[in-house]
Amino acid sequence: MSIAIFGFQDKLEILLPEDTQIFCDSTEYLYTSLNDFLLRGLDRTILHFQGHLKTVNLIQRDIKDKINTSMDNKYLLQMLDLVESLIYYYNGISANGSVLEKLSHNTQRLAYTSDQTALLSDVQVDNSQCCKQAEILSGILAGLMDARSSIVNNNVNNLLRKLTVFNSIFLPLNLLASMGGMSEFTQFTKSTDWRVSYLLFTIFLCITGFITYRIIEQKKSIFNFKKKRKTLPVPSSPASAGKS
């Protein structure tokens, strides 16, 4: 949210939402002038931003732990929303820094005392540190988005690998159960000993599998050969082509 402060010679007019407590609970300070109230109010906005940045840091740690075991994009989208929200925080803190810089350039015209000038300098330092913190946090979160996407993909790949292992374990059992349940094949070969008929069927399966494997390998070698031909360097001149 934005807050507007209009300074006059004998008063300050502040426009802000009714539910904010930035200026309403500042009772621990003894204000001697309107300038003190303004500087303390700006200092409280910085503290407000720092509290939110700490909360954002805790949230991103919690989401990071969930991403390590996640296999969908839900937590990645939450992390992306968190990165986008930090942009607004950075813009707000930078805007406060511009206000503080303008105040520091007009301390004499605003009749600031030495204590108020020192307080303004401290507030500027705190705001600069807060802005740097938001910038670093935003850069870290944005830079690790690709790595966290890779973590989710690895989790999915690990699950698929486990499922493939289970499938490979039960595949021979399924084959034996399928061969044993071929009542039509048994009916067709009832004139032949079942040992011979099932042995011939097993040999037929092995030959079919071997032929399929050879076809796939041949297609793969042709594809790799075409790919290598596309990546061959093109001669830069007729002379070099003749030498080659």
Residue the block writes with tokens 């989790």: 155
The pLDDT of residue 240 is: 44
Query: In this predicted structure, what is the pLDDT of residue 25?
Result: 54
Query: Is 99 in contact with 42 (CB distance < 8 Å)?
Result: yes
> Across the chain, what does the average pLDDT equal?
77
The torsion angles phi and psi of 18, rounded to 5 degrees, stand at -70, -25
Q: Which residues contact 165 (CB under 8 A, 6 or more apart)?
A: none
> Residue 82 above 70 pLDDT?
yes
Q: What percent of the chain has pLDDT over 70?
A: 79
Give the helix ranges, DSSP H, for the chain. Answer: 34-67, 74-105, 114-143, 145-180, 183-188, 194-230, 238-243
Q: What angle do CA 71, 54, 133 make, to 5 degrees?
A: 100
What's the CA gap between 104 and 120, in Å, rounded? 7
Q: Which amino acid, one-letter code, is at 126? A: D
pLDDT tens for residues 230-243?
554 545 544 444 44
Average pLDDT of the residues in 61-66: 84
Nearest residue to 133 (alpha-carbon basis) of 26, 17, 53:
53
Domain boundaries 4-152, corresponding CATH code: 1.20.58.340
C-alpha 147/C-alpha 3 separation (Å) is 38
What mean pLDDT is predicted for residues 146-164?
A: 80
| Mean predicted confidence (pLDDT) in 79-101 | 86
Residue 70 per-residue DSSP state:
-
* Token code pair at residue 80: 């992306």
Which pLDDT does position 89 carry in this prediction?
87
